[in-house]
Structure 1
Amino acid sequence: MRSYLKLIFCLPVLLSLSCKKYIDIVPKGAAVIETTQQFYEMVSMPNRGYPINNFQYLSDDQYMKESNVIGINKTVDIINFTFDDTDIRTNLLKGSSMYNQSYAYINRWNMIISLVDNSTGDNAMKLLAKSEAKVHRAFDHFLLVNVYAKAYDPATAATDGGICIMDKFDLEAQPVKSTVQQVYDFIQKDLDEAIPNLQATPIDVYHPSLAYAWALKAKVHLFKREFTQAKEAAMKSLSYNDKIFDMVAYTAQGGPNTVAVIAPNNPEVLSYTHMTGYNEMNFAYQYVISPELKTLFGSNDARYNLFFNSTNATWLDIGAGTAFWNMAYTKYFYSTVGLKTTEVYLMLAECYARENNLTEAVATLNKIRAKRITSGTVNLPVPATVKEAMAQVIAERRKELLFGFNRFFDLKRYNLEPDYSKTIVRIFPVVNKTVPQQTYTLPPNSRMYIIPFPQDVMMKNPRLRLNTDETVPF
């Protein structure tokens, strides 16, 4: 092998976790990664996808069409939608795109972090590439621990089962499962090491900016209930980007059918990641919002009026009170998984509420509402109690942070606090009268909020086992 690094980067092979670390013979058509510039370019990955299909219906925001439930053999979706904790979910979760893709991305970031120093190029760019990759690595570990483990609880995080931390480029690794506390410590360490070396304005929107990294740091602190640090990080993020897309003015212009807002032209988006891929919202008829969420929007909210349809019988049950996203991504780019400035404002509002600064909490919410509510009551009143202010924050989070992970994650973290926990109640079916209507409930302490590791991963790694009391089917 030559004295400098020669790495063959063949993405499909890499993602299958079957290629070797090093190779001397360059296959025809393969790309040789040997310069710092090439490693830096690897940070940019426009079509990252994090599928939510293992847990999307464990939420009070999403809903299913009745014909997709009634008379259908049990699936993960149906089990989750009916909150059926009697079934062994691991029997159905033989594999998981969410799990596999997240760790494949982590392996990509680890390759950059581990190998870029041996490449040919500028040292400053090497440091930048490593720092940007650490932000992405922190994001992926954050998603994984919040899907497959218990929400962060300061009292138990040190002993709660977490996920496997992958901190180096090793395609054959079988790591030991870390605790929730260890995973969060790792995430924070990556962010703290990366932030001093990042740019305010990277070369493109797929490289993490300072605004994004500070926003992610704020989210990590918020989930740990470290509200002072979360507030400081949120304010730091907003110092780099505080733009809110004006949907009120957009409505007056005629909305997406008149003026297209495509990626990366939405100024409030801080990171471009997806549930499935770049064009996912073209298929968003699959994402039906619940009657509860539809009612929460009211009649004068541009977030609903610009984008949702409640009258197409093909994709929803007329009379059920539901609606589905009905706007092509080429007309309006909606960020489902990535962070955006409005989430930073919402985190800041929550921090103000938590510290009993109710005036600032509501003023921060109203900055968002001024760009969302087209008529009627725009400004929320200042409530009398922290609990009332938090109810306002939670309601705005539900309307602003649609689809993706946010509501699922929020339910998990709020369920650890008696003041904000929620038992979800679902009465189903509403329209179909041929089967008995039933009431389904999901209590705050349900094990269903912790998604089991997929079978194929546990079979390959005997040291990885469930964070619930469910049976491993092998």
Structure 2
Amino acid sequence: MNWIEFSRTFRCITICLTIYVICGSSCSKYLDKKSDNSLAIPKTLQDFQSLLDYAVRMNFSEPILGEIAADNYYLLANDFQSLNVSYRDNYIWKNVAEWDANWVSPYTAISTSNLVLDNLEKVKNGDKLLFNSIKGSALFFRGHLHFNVVQDYAKAYDNSTASEDIGIVLKLTADINDPSKRVSLKECYLQIIEDLKNAASLLPFTTSISTRPTKAAAFAELARVYLCMSDFVQSGLYADSCLQIRDELIDYNTLDGSTKYPIASFNEETIFFATSLGAPPLKPPTCIVDSTLYQSYSNNDLRKHLFFGDNGNNTYSFRGNYAGTTNGGSSVCFTGIATDEIYLIRAECYARNNDTKRALIDINTLLRKRWLQNTFIDFDLDDSEKVLMVILNERRKELIFRNRRWSDLKRLNKVSKFAITLERKFENDTYSLPPNDLRYELLIPNSVISISGIEQNKR
């Protein structure tokens, strides 16, 4: 298949996959008459690699509604009113079910992964290492994207209720006749873990293209998954496995804070590069960093100067985007995986398992790279609870606008000492989101519900 034929085939596959994602089996009758082009499935390993390398779909359209609903920022009344009703309602946690892209985009990419997995075995006599890398990549994307959807549309994981709690739709085949149905939260997590473990066994240790997953990325994603399950032993082990391969940290003293966007994309901390869908509420300077959060950074903490730009009215916008200078002023967030997050995961797991010594080594290692040279004084504590609080506070500051906060709120709200109520205020109006509220499970788009017939989240 030459490139022109492949491109034509890819466009046709894209249309079919998008219809499949939205409709499920209920749309199969409209696809009975297939064109000749729709039958032209990629045939070579290079064809399948090209499908997974289509970063606009696989890497650059990750869900973002959780970040819009989180407490990293606030909007002024005029900016709030200028948004369309879906964004406004999401910002104040009203019952909104209109933003299709947050659901459809990850499932379209999942369907691309399934297309690869369903047909890859048909390739004969290909390079074995490339075959394994492609299969591992498809499994990684499927697990990674299912996990993203779970964070927005399902409850926080609770081992005592996960078998009964409703999860999301698991798509494990590209078959257009496969019905869409929601399965238990436990089944979702087990499938995500299975995909990521299988991916880790197949993926290479390194890649020259950061949008392609590696063994380190699979280990890191497993660390994320187990952290959300409160399995701090497994999470810590996978974080450690990742850091055995990739442990680089940027010394923020080497960055030029005078530039508009001081942190480059594809930097040395990036393990796996991905970005979110764009979202107008998150675009600077409309998106104003929460003042209490901004003030929590010490003056010698270089993040205070590198992450934020002065709006000139005693408010600040975020500019420390790991998506880099091209996206620094946009509404796109870095949603990939970087080593700083994995240090924080391992440190948290050490603290929760009462290994304060190693927890402090990790958090001090990170912060030495974040503070003005020779100003940071290592934390020296022997109380695991105090160490944990330090780590959680630093996680809050380090991972701002990385699309991790919504997930963190959900898991931490299960423990009363960490639980918080979110508030949005506009003159005479106050909106609140209590811990463990049903609204932490975002509503599935109405269009998906009406066509597929799957169960909507409760209100």
TM-score (norm 1): 0.83
Amino acid aligned to 1:409: S
> Aligned runs of 1:314-329 on 2, under 5 Å?
318-319=313-314, 321-325=315-319, 329=324
> Aligned runs of 1:435-450 on 2, under 5 Å?
435-436=427-428, 438-450=429-441
In the other structure, the counterpart of 1:269 is: 270
Between the aligned partners of 2:37 and 2:439, the Cα distance in structure 1 is 47
**Pick aligned residue for 1:129 from 122, 129, 134:** 134
In the other structure, the counterpart of 2:304 is: 304
Amino acid aligned to 1:269: T
> Aligned runs of 1:27-106 on 2, under 5 Å?
33-47=42-56, 48-50=59-61, 54-69=65-80, 75-83=85-93, 87=94, 89=95, 92-106=96-110
Amino acid aligned to 2:183: S
In the other structure, the counterpart of 1:421 is: 419
Matched, 1:341 2:339: yes
Deviation at 1:193, TM superposition (A): 1.5
After superposition, the C-alpha distances for 1:241-260 in whole angstroms (9 at most, x for unaligned) are 10011112224xx5546x97
In the other structure, the counterpart of 1:366 is: 364
The answer on whether the counterparts of 2:62 and 2:274 sit within 8 Å (CA) in structure 1 is no
The answer on whether the counterparts of 1:50 and 1:274 sit within 8 Å (CA) in structure 2 is yes
Between the aligned partners of 2:298 and 2:40, the Cα distance in structure 1 is 53
After superposition, the C-alpha distances for 1:345-400 in whole angstroms (9 at most, x for unaligned) are 00000001101122221221111111111168523523453332222112111221
Matched, 1:162 2:179: no
Deviation at 1:404, TM superposition (A): 3.7
How many equivalent pairs are there?
Answer: 436
Matched, 1:290 2:297: no
Deviation at 1:450, TM superposition (A): 0.8
Q: 1:15 to 1:404 in 2, by over 3 A?
A: farther
In the other structure, the counterpart of 2:391 is: 393
Amino acid aligned to 2:348: E
In the other structure, the counterpart of 1:330 is: 325
Deviation at 1:415, TM superposition (A): 0.7
Q: 1:69 to 1:360 in 2, by over 3 A?
A: same
In the other structure, the counterpart of 2:405 is: 407
The answer on whether the counterparts of 1:49 and 1:101 sit within 8 Å (CA) in structure 2 is no
In the other structure, the counterpart of 1:432 is: none
After superposition, the C-alpha distances for 1:215-268 in whole angstroms (9 at most, x for unaligned) are 1111111111111111111111011110011112224xx5546x976433x010
- Gapped runs of 5+ residues in structure 1? 1-5, 313-317, 430-434
Which one is further off, 171-180 or 49-58? 49-58
The answer on whether the counterparts of 1:285 and 1:326 sit within 8 Å (CA) in structure 2 is no
Deviation at 1:410, TM superposition (A): 0.2
Amino acid aligned to 2:289: I
Between the aligned partners of 2:64 and 2:50, the Cα distance in structure 1 is 30
Deviation at 1:194, TM superposition (A): 1.8
RMSD: 3.2
Which one is further off, 104-113 or 189-198? 189-198
- Gapped runs of 5+ residues in structure 2? 1-5, 21-29
In the other structure, the counterpart of 1:3 is: none
Secondary structure of the residue aligned to 2:337 is: coil
Secondary structure of the residue aligned to 2:201 is: helix
In the other structure, the counterpart of 1:456 is: 447
Secondary structure of the residue aligned to 2:295 is: helix
Between the aligned partners of 2:374 and 2:100, the Cα distance in structure 1 is 45
Secondary structure of the residue aligned to 1:356 is: coil
Q: 1:37 to 1:51 in 2, by over 3 A?
A: closer
Secondary structure of the residue aligned to 1:55 is: helix
Q: 1:118 to 1:153 in 2, by over 3 A?
A: same
Matched, 1:150 2:155: yes
Deviation at 1:401, TM superposition (A): 1.1
Between the aligned partners of 1:406 and 1:150, the Cα distance in structure 2 is 15
TM-score (norm 2): 0.85
Between the aligned partners of 2:157 and 2:326, the Cα distance in structure 1 is 38
**Pick aligned residue for 1:17 from 3, 15, 19:** 19
